[in-house]
Amino acid sequence: MANQKIARTEKWMKIEITNILKIKAKNPKFSDITITDVKLTNDLSYATITWYLYNQDQSKIKEISQELENVKGFCRRELAQISSAYKVPQLRFKYDQTIEEADRIESILNKLKEEK
């Protein structure tokens, strides 16, 4: 039962954080990011929000990471206004490297295949 509540809350937060960043934050830098996942701790006190930015260099990723750190409080206040929860979790933003790692592995496998 608790796991279902956490899963529902994670799904809801993913949608709402996306809306907050892309519409309410009014920062054009957030228009290209994709929220890939939200993971809540079991006590619902922390939410780790993973995000991805397609085809960008490390300096752009670092810049957006800093911008996300700056809007954490704003996002949390917005979530509190639209949530019926007693407590809104602390937010942590984390860059999602999964896609880049998968591309790198695929590239290595393709090279090995060509060498045969």
Domain map (residue ranges) of the chain: 2-115
Percent of the chain beyond pLDDT 70? 97
Asked if residue 21 has pLDDT above 80, the reply is yes
**Class in CATH terms, 2-115:** alpha beta
Tell me the pLDDT band of 107, cut-offs 50, 70 and 90.
Answer: confident
Give the mean model confidence (pLDDT) for residues 32-46.
94
Give the mean model confidence (pLDDT) for residues 56-68.
90
Which residue in this structure is represented by tokens 């090995």?
112
pLDDT at 110: 85
